[in-house]
Structure 1
Amino acid sequence: MPEVIALIAAAGKGTRLGAEVPKAFVMLRGRSLVERSILAMVTSGVVDRIIVLLSADMMSFAQDLFSRRGLIDSRGYCQGIPVHLVCGGGERADSVWEGLKAIGSHKKGSVVLIHDAARALTPPGLIARVARAVAQGHKAVIPVLPVTDTIKEVGEESGTAFVRSTPDRSRLRAVQTPQGFDLAELYAANLAYFAQETPDFIATDDASLMEWHGQRVSCVKGDPMAFKVTTPIDMTLAEHIVDEAEPTIFDVPDTLKKDADD
């Protein structure tokens, strides 16, 4: 298995959740969303190092929180996997680019995983599945789920919305994270993207950027547990899931259980 580096995007404000702190730092049954995402990466058994992308105004808070939790010191909670904090940019794509530049030198064939901190209950097995698909030679890999709702393409005319078309949902998929890439290829795609003086394309995710750069994007099976906590309803669902499954999600060391309950 080549080197695997995880970039966790945690710089967003998450206004739709209506919390007093940025979404990544909202507590879910005693542990923040970003902490849970970090621990999922650790538990996957395939990640060698982790970079958390943060807004500048949350850097000091995160350093303090992670230190108390044993995420960036020698207490072993991350099983020796280094966790680094990097200041992101104004948009998600800017943050990922900062993360890629922070990685520095890397071995040929290294794998990078881009993950949303808000997908805090992503199963470690899904993370491993994506990483292994990239290691097997796929330059870009995304986890997907079938779309169950009927989807409409809509337009607007004179202030009234109307249906333009109804895509065949059998060909549609909902995309999750982590998205996995050959590190050198993703770096090259970002380099070309940010070199544009007049952008002719806005990347909505890293896979779309790879498509724009001419790379084929492969798909692996996603998981319903990798849903994104975006709204209060999502948080309620996440709380119910954790209430049922917390003892089996993460093995929390006894020395940290008090911190987890603070």
Structure 2
Amino acid sequence: MRVVAVVAAAGQGTRLGADVPKAFVRLKGMSLVGRSVDSLRASGVVDEIIVLVGEGMERYCRDIPDVRLVRGGGERAESVWAGLSAIDDEDAIVLVHDAARALTPPGMIARVVAATTAGADAVVPVVPVTDTIKEVAGTRVVATPERASLRAVQTPQAFRLAALWEANRRYFAEDDPGFSATDDASLMEWCGHEVLTVAGDPLAFKITTPIDLRLAESVLDYAAQGE
């Protein structure tokens, strides 16, 4: 079964405070999206990689070989929809990955794909939540969910392409779907599909702020010391 990875790299990522879009910020000499693409390749389970870029961002991808560039939209969901529409094999498995998760281990990627090829329509990697989570309204705490049942979701998320394509079609056909899709698994849940989980990895954290970038640099420095 063909596996196609769609890498979301069209956002601006203003919280990182860089002078280029976040996906193209350099981490030890390589862009975040470049490192994400390398991890996907190293997993040994991905047949094609599509990188979603914003208008004028193509020039930042010149040093990333063997990827197909597709113009993304203004919002993440619109970008992913453009990527899905560029895949011509409805029987494929699609991986949707955030370029900002640049240190995602290849083994975790292979684990997500393996669970999907076993028959699931949707699989997401998750890690336990270690902080106490509060639900708030304004500045007032209204609830404290039971932490044991909570998980933080990472990417790549894996889907049967036909099922995810149909979920996106229904979402964009609605004048008011009643929620904002913050990830692709939420669309599948909305359409009634079962979403399964596999173990994620702490290294698959999302690089969003300058502190996250410093942490990623420290991780790479530590890894280099052990080589």
Match of 2:20 in 1: 21
Name stretches of at least 5 consecutive residues in structure 2 with no aligned partner. none
Match of 1:43 in 2: 42
Percent sequence identity over aligned pairs? 59
1:1-262 → structure 2 map (5 Å cutoff):
2-59=1-58, 61-66=59-64, 71-72=65-66, 83-104=67-88, 106=89, 108=91, 110-156=92-138, 161-246=139-224
1:180-221 CA-partner distances (Å, limit 9, x unpaired): 001110011111111113332221100001000110110000
1:201-250 CA-partner distances (Å, limit 9, x unpaired): 2211000010001101100000000000001111011001111225989x
Question: Which residue identity does 1:101 align to in structure 2?
Answer: S
1:79-132 CA-partner distances (Å, limit 9, x unpaired): xxxx1000000100000000000112x153x21000000000000000000011
Q: Is the Cα–Cα contact under 8 Å of residues 17 and 231 in structure 1 kept in the other structure? A: yes
Local SS of the residue matching 2:193? coil
Mapped to 2, the partners of 1:246 and 1:126 lie a distance apart of: 21
Q: Post-superposition shift, 1:38?
A: 0.3
Q: Is the Cα–Cα contact under 8 Å of residues 90 and 161 in structure 2 kept in the other structure? A: no
RMSD of Structure 2 on Structure 1 (CA):
1.5
Question: Which residue identity does 2:96 align to in structure 1?
Answer: I
Runs ≥4 in structure 1, deviation > 3 angstroms? 246-249
Mapped to 2, the partners of 1:12 and 1:177 lie a distance apart of: 16
Local SS of the residue matching 1:145? strand
Mapped to 2, the partners of 1:236 and 1:163 lie a distance apart of: 32
Q: Is the Cα–Cα contact under 8 Å of residues 3 and 107 in structure 1 kept in the other structure? A: no
Local SS of the residue matching 1:125? helix
1:141-189 CA-partner distances (Å, limit 9, x unpaired): 0000010000111113xxxx11101110001000000000011100111
- TM value normalised by structure 1: 0.84
Local SS of the residue matching 1:57? coil
Do the aligned partners of residues 63 and 33 (structure 1) sit closer, same or farther apart at CA in structure 2, a change above 3 Å counting?
A: closer
Name stretches of at least 5 consecutive residues in structure 1 with no aligned partner. 73-82, 250-262
Mapped to 1, the partners of 2:226 and 2:78 lie a distance apart of: 35
Greater CA radius of gyration, 1 or 2?
A: 1
Local SS of the residue matching 1:56? coil
